[in-house]
Structure 1
Amino acid sequence: MSGRVRPRTWVTAAALVVGVLVLVYAGTTGRGNRDAGGPVAAGPVSEECAELRELDFAAPDDSPTLLISSYGASNDGKGGPVRFRAGLRLGTGERPLVLGALEATVTVCAPHTHGLLARAEGLTPRVTKEGEGEGEGRRADEARGLHLRSGGWTDLRVALPKSALRPGISFEDLVIGDPPRSNDAADRPVLIVTLTAPGLPGPLVAGNCAEGCAELLGRSV
């Protein structure tokens, strides 16, 4: 992870969205080469995953927010290559925003050992849906930036390139727990997405474990 700056981060654990944070799906061509035999061996804690312990997942209620709404490895049932994608929900907050180009950093850390499974910077999220929320909604003009009105939200999707994977890791490995079929959040890989853009008050950070991410990565909160 470049630098040692610890940006102010934002995330909310709205009850409506918490239920979909664990919507992990597998591709129809298989469930990964380690699903039956056990979790991936990711090695000791990595520098990138260790620095995630310092994230602050608290944010004022009226601030912009970012949530992970879904994530998984899938080939969309079309027989193509398996890809890993994360669905995001960007909430505007009480003030309208005019954003420049969005960039995302995605980090996936192994359960328990917190070895690095995948990491990519400079990814471009794609707008997939818009909604009004409690305010006037939003409109997207990707040629001139993203215009978000107060109280609205927009859904984004970001895909990991194959180059993000550590040697010996597959996209399917990013959704396999330790043990593989455990429903305990502590047994699942930790997924962190950081979103930046001109016009945001600071980086927005979301995790598949909401406020519990820092604790799962080894810091008491």
Structure 2
Amino acid sequence: MAVDPARVERLTRELLEAIGEDPERPGLRQTPARMAELYAEFFAGVGEDAAAPLARTISVARGPAPETLPSGAVLLRDIRFRSVCEHHLLPFAGHAHIAYLPGEQVVGLGALVRVVEILAARPQVQERLGEQIADTIAENLDTRGVLVVLDASHGCVTMRGGRQSEASTLTIAARGEYSEPVARQEIIALIGGTSTAGFEGGR
């Protein structure tokens, strides 16, 4: 386990004292232990291999039409995710949408979900998270193109500073054929409700 629960508990007590609180008062007495449990969950992806879920692939060449490769994308929409912004250690959460153009191998859809979960369970920024998801899929699957769109609400925007409670952030990461804006227009449209206007210059 990457997280050291005893150390988290000790540091949480110090933090409570640093803000002028008494960690021994009834309402806070269990807080250090709760924080240790919370951090163990939120940062479970630290040190975990995000490519491991992609190791088991399925050959489409063994299907009823072995000479036919998939002609279109595999699109998995609305993957719920949550992460912690590394700038303020505040949460951000939203949906990930993943599309890839298979070669001769496809992967179980649950494996794509696990890639998102592992990479999100680390101190992150949304832009890098999307790029890491795209790289992991592109580098470990037989793909002709990968597209990752993240739509998330950030605690550092909604709860501090300008406190824009309705604001959300959209990012895109593209690899292979989807690096061309025209090639990804159909996928962006299929995601539904996401404007393509801000994506045409995406990476």
TM-based fold match above 0.5: no
Report 1 or 2 for greater relative contact order, CA contacts < 8 Å, sequence distance ≥ 6.
1
Choose 1 or 2 for highest CA Rg. 2
Please state which structure has a larger fraction of its residues in helix.
2
